[in-house]
Chains A and B, each alone.
Chain A
Amino acid sequence: MATETSKSIFWQGVRDGSPFILVIVPFSTLFGVVATEAGLNVFETVAFSFLVIAGAAQFTAIELMRNDAPTLIVMVSALAVNLRMAMYSASLTPYLGEATLAQRAWAAYFTVDQTYACSVLKFDERRDWTIGQRLTYFFGVAAPICPPWYLFTGVGAMIGTAIPEGLALDFAIPITFLALIGPMMRTRAHVAAGFVSVLSALVFAFLPFNLGLLVAGVLGMMTGAQVELIDKRRAERRAA
């Protein structure tokens, strides 16, 4: 491959992040609509998206506040939904750890499901990239994802009317994530981790505050790591 300019890496990120616009636009518009219906004005709704940029947590918080849940429960539940961000942060550390503190802070602010998933896939593929190239790619992915998130929250808040149900936009989110998960299934360990994650998420779905997802995440990670160890030992024995 020819030498890559930072411009071309930035645009690679933009291209890889762009399909998510299909998800971000309806999802953030919907948040705007739901938040206005719960009594927030346009400024409060957009501020919410700016401060938190995490759809699932924002929906959780609005839903609980609308139902007059205690403030502490609202905060703990919404943060629990976001606990996976700590796992993303940990998994990006080997790739972004050398960046300056300010760069790491900006990358942290823009760490969402989509930027994380695209970047970690790419960084694993392109071990030759420098820290600068990685950051350029990361912010390239964030460019078509985060600004539309703010913008269409505002649009939704201004529209303030329901999205027609016939469009089945509810399923835009699962389809996009599934399409993203498919290419990640590179080894037996990845498949086993995904399988255990799905099973545990369904089995532990009864747990409150989205804790089932955390259990699924931990069990899935342990499964992946164990299968990797077993396969590595088996390969070593065969080689010996």
Chain B
Amino acid sequence: MIDKGELWLVMIVLGLGSFGLRFVFTGLIGDRPLPSWILRHLRYTAVAVLPGLVAPLVVWPQATGGAPDAPRLAAALVTITAGVLTRNMLLAIFLGASTLYGGLYLLG
């Protein structure tokens, strides 16, 4: 069982820490101009972090205990391809989810 004192300590420190991380640049730097090399790197934050966040979830899904799984890999491939080609997020989600459920039905 989790100790209540520890729980609140973790919750408060995490809350303050997460806010600090979110506020560090927007809040403290404000509208002072940033050097161009920093901006050039920052343009790629989203495409550098989000794919890395998703990749392990796709290759080693939690639901299968980390074993690569054909329906999930196919669904991921369909979703990203549809997203790149159509630029339509909802359509990509729909096609990806259809692939996942279709694959789970056929193979599961």
Contact = CB atoms under 8 A, between A and B. Distances in A.
Give the size range of B's interface with the partner. Answer: 35 or more
Contacts of B38: 90
A38 B2 contact: yes
Given A65-B6, A74-B10, A86-B22, A19 B93 contact: yes
Interface string A161-200: 0000100101111111111111111000110011111101
Contacts of B53: 56, 84, 113, 177, 201, 213
Contacts of B62: 170
A217 B30 contact: no
B76 A217 contact: no
B23 A104 contact: yes
A175 B21 contact: no
A191 B77 CA distance: 15
A47 interface: yes
A185 B43 contact: no
Interface string A120-147: 1100000000000000000000000000
Given A175-B75, A178-B54, A228-B40, A219 B6 contact: no
A117 B45 contact: no
Given A93-B25, A107-B26, A170-B63, A88 B45 contact: yes
Interface string B51-77: 111111111111100000000100110
Interface string A98-117: 10010011011101010011
Given A178-B54, A202-B59, A225 B19 contact: no
Contacts of B24: 86, 89-90
Contacts of B75: 171, 175
Contact of A108 (B23, B32, B56): B23
A117 B87 CA distance: 14
Contacts of B31: 97-98
Contacts, number: 288
A51 B54 contact: no
Interface of B: 1-2, 6-15, 17-19, 21-27, 29-32, 34, 37-63, 72, 75-76, 79-90, 92-93, 96-97, 100-101, 104
Interface of A: 19, 22, 38-40, 44, 47-48, 51-54, 56-58, 61, 65-66, 71, 74-75, 78-79, 82-94, 96-98, 101, 104-105, 107-109, 111, 113, 116-117, 120-121, 165, 168, 170-185, 189-190, 193-198, 200-202, 205, 212-213, 216-225, 228-229
22 contacts: A19-B93, A44-B11, A58-B14, A75-B17, A84-B53, A88-B45, A92-B26, A101-B27, A105-B23, A170-B62, A174-B54, A174-B57, A178-B76, A179-B92, A181-B54, A182-B81, A183-B88, A189-B44, A197-B49, A213-B53, A217-B48, A220-B48
